[in-house]
Structure 1
């Protein structure tokens, strides 16, 4: 494979969600508000967990990491979009674009693993409650997160390095508001067979395996819950999974919707709008799902807000 002419590429054009200037002003305000809500909401989750000793458990440790990943995902894409709209400049440099591809992949793969780990945590809590603290010990929890971070970075690094070997021609327009791997590969005018094989491999392994793990976990959870004699006990056991199940449904539902949208429509703008759901909306709603559906989290957030108000 020959090294591409990437050294002469100054950058790409992010077409965004619309060309209408009035709509761009509306989109700027909307995305700015969504970004602020995402950052504040997930920050509150992290601070609430760290400040309340009752929440120093594996489940909330993983939730804090998920909140941090959600903030990072939004920070990777939204600020650049806001700057471009404000400056009326659609350009993004070659280095910035590859950096976006890298970090979007890192945080997307990492979120997949964290959701699977959280499902495993619920399996242990419901199926093996007496051994929960022994199995989900602090050392294992940290190793699971660190292992997920390492795998996510390795997968993203391989794809980013492979992009460096591609050469690009005259069409440098990306039909989205951020640089994503698949659209960038489509812009290449050199052979992309290896890149596409790697994409299918990563999606199958680092999305398929966590999804299978989550499904298998909930099969075990449901079968265990059904063996509980009292209806109150069954409800209490399953209620501990409600927030996680909602987040999983939102994350994979929106992600699946993006690929369905890309498959059934020729409109790249429609696909870009659909990608907003899994790259922006999900990260914004996750804190609300966990804080509104979880009594302990609501109480921790209330205490945090009370302490913050008393300092003002």
Structure 2
């Protein structure tokens, strides 16, 4: 199937999408304008060494979070399981050991912050929400734990549903598509949203973000095609979370390493915003926030809903 011809700006920004996320704890993330989510990796092995906070003291975690919030992050994404290609598969107990104390400390120190938990495991998600998490960011999109969709429906917690194939350990070998890439992703989202609706007693959940999964079972060529065609996901009616910060699609074409990929990340963030991203998941909050502000000033974008 050939790619659909696209117009990047005007038609897209008249689309109605999920406009805000309401936490079961009462906190609201307003996505009428694009926002920035800072990454807090409570891991020793995430692909970008500069993002690793494991092992780290509580004071180090809080200092990183405070800097991100002060720089303009409106959400923080906290994870204890590295999802880089080929990462070690740690146990749920180890994931919770890393994650939950950090999450509890963040909740105490920043009671108004909107906190996301980055996990594909339902039991971890449930304990994280009980600890104060406002959003479940699931790299498996409900495919890596059979209980995840029922869990988020029961908890009435905002949910980010990501496209992937396989697991972090196998996804690199699965980066091939028999049909059109974006059509495959659209069908995945259709099916998983239907499964989520079934898990919610036949009623759709409103507070759902979609993440096309840059770098997950996708080659750099796939990733750049997906970025170019991002507006084709708008008719699904859900806001888009985009996570491409310092990934291979940024640094490999430039012959660089993740540590040198900030400038390229900023360039692609602007393209993601033009393509409809509502939430940028980033390592470098000040630069991403500046990109959002310039985007807003240039295009005067406000999604109402």
TM-score range, shorter chain: under 0.3
Higher-RCO chain (CA-CA 8 Å, sequence separation at least 6): 1
Q: Which has the larger radius of gyration?
A: 1
- Structure having the higher helix fraction is 1
Please give the TM-score of this superposition, normalised by the length of structure 2: 0.23
